[in-house]
A and B are shown apart, each in its own frame.
Chain A
Amino acid sequence: MPEHPRILFNPKDNPFINSGYGIIARHLVPRLAAHYGKDSILVFAPVFQRDEIRDWNGVKILPGVSATFGEDIIYEHYVHQKCNLLLQIGDWAPLRTIPQLASENKLLWIQYAPMDFLNFPQWAFDILKCAHKIVPFTKQAEKAFKGYKLQNVSEAIWIGLDSSLWQPLDRHEYPNTMRSLGFAEDTYNILIVAANQSRKYLRETLEGIKHFIEAYPQAKTRIYMHTHVAGERRLDQDVQELGLQDIVSFPDPYDLVNGGIDESQLVVVFNCADLVMDVAMEGFGMSQTQAQACGVPVVCMSEGGGPELVKWGVEVPSYSIDRSQALLKPVPHPAQIATGIETMYKAYLEGKRRSDSVSQWTRENFSWDLIAEQWIKLIDQVMEEREKFSLYVPRPSEELMRRSREMVEL
């Protein structure tokens, strides 16, 4: 019988943070706890939290102070809490100690890994090869990792969504939300949900929308950017330069910094849109599945998870490569972004505004219950492999322990 798992769950954000990684923790941890027992899973996320072990619905959240990945903290928790499995969800690129310890069989490491870059340097291979299992976010990532000759790649497991929340809604019931987004029934409403980071190509997206507007002024386009205005880009300046200031709305910055907007409110926002745009190479693309769950079409990048996740929408090809970082990213061209929007706008004009079949498919295939089942199957398999291949060193038998105390003196 394999040993019961005692999982150290290490997401990039804690379950009560409203980020992509926080959402994963929020939905996966309780389901794993329900299956294996609340004592079988402990959460550690590297946020400022000094001394207390918090209780989150019966699951312990461990303390640790590190603004970045404090790898020693992870191993200390793993040993101190007598864990036998580390489930790491987040950036693996900065890891140094964890791969070393895993290669020495001092911890059993599963890495949930996105593939949102075009190359795969040797140092990346050297880190990921040490994991007992790499669980790709997407089938595209699975194929890519295997193509790079990694031998420890499992089947991909998608990031789920709460299908009780993410579903088509009648936006007519939310006139205040529509107004707050700058949307109306007779405007073409484009939604962008993204962190204000350069890798999201928000400037290129806005330029692409501008090209579209110039070609289709009658569309009465409106844009809501659910992001911080000031981040890696000053989006207010971008909007001003492009002359879009009259048609772009941003969230109230106070809402974003004061607890954020919860998922149920975000569902309404998505349902108010006619088109969702995400033209970066995403490791997954939660805004894309969220949009599809609401039946809303998506313009996505042809590289990354988009083509796999988006059943109704347009892919924008890569135009050039961003070489500013070690991990290369494809960059879209605004003209091609505009072409993508044009394609979906034409469908909009033909009355194709929502897709119930896409919504149903997305909600069925990305439900957290289904995703959690896949995780449980994987964890059970890993624990069986741990037992079968003796990935840990067991204590000798009682007989050997007894003999070790039978002294021989010559």
Chain B
Amino acid sequence: MKIAWVQDLSPWTELGGAQLTDKAHIIAGIKRGHDIEIILPGTVSAFQEWADLIIVSNATMFPIAMFQNFTKPYVFFVHDYWPLCKLRLYYPMLDKCRVCYPSLDWRAIFEKSKLIVWLSPLHRESWLFTFSELEKHEYALVPSPVSPDDFYDMKLERKGAIAVHSGVDFKGKERFVEWCVEHPDVPVTLVGPGDNLPPNVTRIEHVLYTKINELYNRHEYFVHLPMNPMPFDRTVAEAYLAGCKIIANKNVGALSWEQFYQSREHVERLLRASSAMFWDKIEC
């Protein structure tokens, strides 16, 4: 198929979770013989003329009229809550969210899509809170393709706990700080921004993606306690595959997959099959 893949940011250069996920699926799609072109904001492309299918990933920087005028079949592959909440991952799931202004515009566009792909059962459930009409809509649940080849147990000595980006409000700073205060004897490494942290927290501004597995392997626990519904949370899956014990809560999308309660092997199989799950659903 000729596929136009609409994304705000290039999956080849950006290292955000959505871009890493898209990149893995795009590569898998190319290997399956699809002809995929990335459509970025500002690029001029008559993609509606040549595309057989349009896949819409994170697309906040495109005019909504473009989607309203789609003439080819399109699939939404959503990574957060951007069409129904301006706050995206701060999506608070309040009653007023059901009639929030972006959702009023996007509702009809989603209803006309061929398929909606969510990252986890929790992700879909959170969407249906605002878009209850989509309950019967054709959908797929596809976990983020975190590779067990990149994240695995290195059998290193482990100590303390690690958290990634938990110093940011929407990633659960409030609960993270509470947990650290409740466990003052546990040394905690926080990767990413954060201020006003308890004394047992040591912050590292940034770690290369290629080094993060080793960092997980030097810690016994991975702590992640968001207060907003996280669609998947790659870091939880990464840390789990890297052999960390997980301390999380029911707002983590990854942990709404039952495989996490079975075994690491089940999780490995699930995540290795991610791109196949994606394309099997797209192609059918």
A residues whose Cβ falls under 8 Å from a Cβ of B: 387-390, 393-397, 399-401, 403-410
Stretch at the interface among B42-50, B151-159, B250-258: B250-258
In the complex, whether B64 has a CB less than 8 A from a CB of chain A is no
Q: Are B101 and A404 in contact (CB under 8 A)?
A: no
In the complex, the chain B residue whose C-beta lies closest to that of A389 is: B86
Q: A393-B90, A397-B93, A410-B261 are in contact. Are A405 and B101 (CB under 8 A)?
A: no
In the complex, whether B272 has a CB less than 8 A from a CB of chain A is no
Question: Within the complex, what minimum Cβ distance (angstroms) separates B127 from chain A?
Answer: 14
Q: A389-B86, A389-B101, A408-B255 are in contact. Are A396 and B248 (CB under 8 A)?
A: no
**A400 to B174 alpha-carbon distance, docked (Å):** 13
Q: Are B227 and A399 in contact (CB under 8 A)?
A: no
B227's partner among A396, A408, A410 (CB-CB below 8 A) is A396
Q: Are B261 and A400 in contact (CB under 8 A)?
A: no
Question: Within the complex, what minimum Cβ distance (angstroms) separates A400 from chain B?
Answer: 6
Q: A388-B101, A403-B250, A407-B249 are in contact. Are A396 and B93 (CB under 8 A)?
A: yes
Q: Are B226 and A399 in contact (CB under 8 A)?
A: no
**A388 to B90 alpha-carbon distance, docked (Å):** 15
In the complex, the chain A residue whose C-beta lies closest to that of B174 is: A404
Q: Are B87 and A393 in contact (CB under 8 A)?
A: yes
**A397 to B93 alpha-carbon distance, docked (Å):** 6
In the complex, whether B172 has a CB less than 8 A from a CB of chain A is yes
Question: Within the complex, what minimum Cβ distance (angstroms) separates B203 from chain A?
Answer: 20
Residues of B within 8 Å of A393, CB to CB, are 87, 90, 92, 169-170
In the complex, whether B260 has a CB less than 8 A from a CB of chain A is yes
**A390 to B248 alpha-carbon distance, docked (Å):** 28
Residues of A within 8 Å of B121, CB to CB, are none
**A389 to B90 alpha-carbon distance, docked (Å):** 13
Q: Are B251 and A400 in contact (CB under 8 A)?
A: yes
Residues of B within 8 Å of A400, CB to CB, are 92-93, 227-229, 251
Residues of B within 8 Å of A396, CB to CB, are 92-94, 227-228
Q: Are A403 and B90 in contact (CB under 8 A)?
A: no
Question: Within the complex, what minimum Cβ distance (angstroms) separates A76 from chain B?
Answer: 16
In the complex, whether B240 has a CB less than 8 A from a CB of chain A is yes
* Range class of the B interface residue count: 20 to 34
In the complex, the chain A residue whose C-beta lies closest to that of B252 is: A408
Q: List 26 A-B contacts (CB under 8 A).
A: A389-B101, A393-B87, A393-B90, A393-B170, A394-B92, A396-B93, A396-B94, A396-B227, A397-B92, A397-B95, A400-B228, A400-B229, A403-B251, A404-B225, A404-B227, A406-B250, A407-B249, A408-B247, A408-B248, A408-B249, A409-B246, A409-B248, A410-B240, A410-B245, A410-B255, A410-B260
Q: A393-B87, A404-B226, A404-B227 are in contact. Are A399 and B93 (CB under 8 A)?
A: yes
In the complex, whether B175 has a CB less than 8 A from a CB of chain A is yes
Q: Are A407 and B86 in contact (CB under 8 A)?
A: no
Residues of B within 8 Å of A410, CB to CB, are 240, 245-246, 248, 255, 260-261
Q: Are B94 and A394 in contact (CB under 8 A)?
A: yes
Instruction: Digitize B229-252: 1 where CB-to-A-CB distance is under 8 Å, 0 elsewhere.
Output: 100000000001000011111111
Residues of B within 8 Å of A388, CB to CB, are 100-101
**A234 to B169 alpha-carbon distance, docked (Å):** 58
Within 12-31 of B, Cβ neighbours of A (below 8 Å) are at none
Residues of B within 8 Å of A394, CB to CB, are 92, 94
Residues of A within 8 Å of B240, CB to CB, are 410
Question: Within the complex, what minimum Cβ distance (angstroms) separates B114 from chain A?
Answer: 30
**A390 to B100 alpha-carbon distance, docked (Å):** 9
Centre residue among A393, A399, A410 by max chain B CB count within 10 A? A410
Q: Are B245 and A408 in contact (CB under 8 A)?
A: no
Q: Given A407-B249, A410-B240, 11 other A-B contacts at CB below 8 A?
A: A390-B87, A397-B92, A400-B93, A400-B229, A403-B251, A404-B226, A404-B249, A406-B250, A408-B246, A408-B247, A409-B246
Residues of A within 8 Å of B248, CB to CB, are 407-410
Q: Are A395 and B92 in contact (CB under 8 A)?
A: yes
In the complex, the chain B residue whose C-beta lies closest to that of A388 is: B101
Q: Are A397 and B94 in contact (CB under 8 A)?
A: yes
**A82 to B92 alpha-carbon distance, docked (Å):** 21
Residues of B within 8 Å of A407, CB to CB, are 247-249
Centre residue among B93, B95, B175, B249 by max chain A CB count within 10 A? B249
Q: Are A404 and B251 in contact (CB under 8 A)?
A: yes
**A410 to B251 alpha-carbon distance, docked (Å):** 15
Residues of A within 8 Å of B96, CB to CB, are 387
**A409 to B240 alpha-carbon distance, docked (Å):** 11
**A224 to B228 alpha-carbon distance, docked (Å):** 67
Residues of A within 8 Å of B175, CB to CB, are 404-405
**A165 to B245 alpha-carbon distance, docked (Å):** 76
**A222 to B87 alpha-carbon distance, docked (Å):** 65
Question: Within the complex, what minimum Cβ distance (angstroms) separates A397 from chain B?
Answer: 5
Question: Within the complex, what minimum Cβ distance (angstroms) separates B81 from chain A?
Answer: 12
Residues of A within 8 Å of B252, CB to CB, are 408
Within 98-153 of B, Cβ neighbours of A (below 8 Å) are at 100-101
In the complex, the chain B residue whose C-beta lies closest to that of A402 is: B250
**A395 to B91 alpha-carbon distance, docked (Å):** 9
5 nearest A-B pairs in the assembled complex, by CB-CB distance: A403-B250, A410-B246, A406-B250, A404-B227, A396-B92
**A281 to B104 alpha-carbon distance, docked (Å):** 47
**A324 to B86 alpha-carbon distance, docked (Å):** 45
**A405 to B100 alpha-carbon distance, docked (Å):** 27
**A399 to B90 alpha-carbon distance, docked (Å):** 14
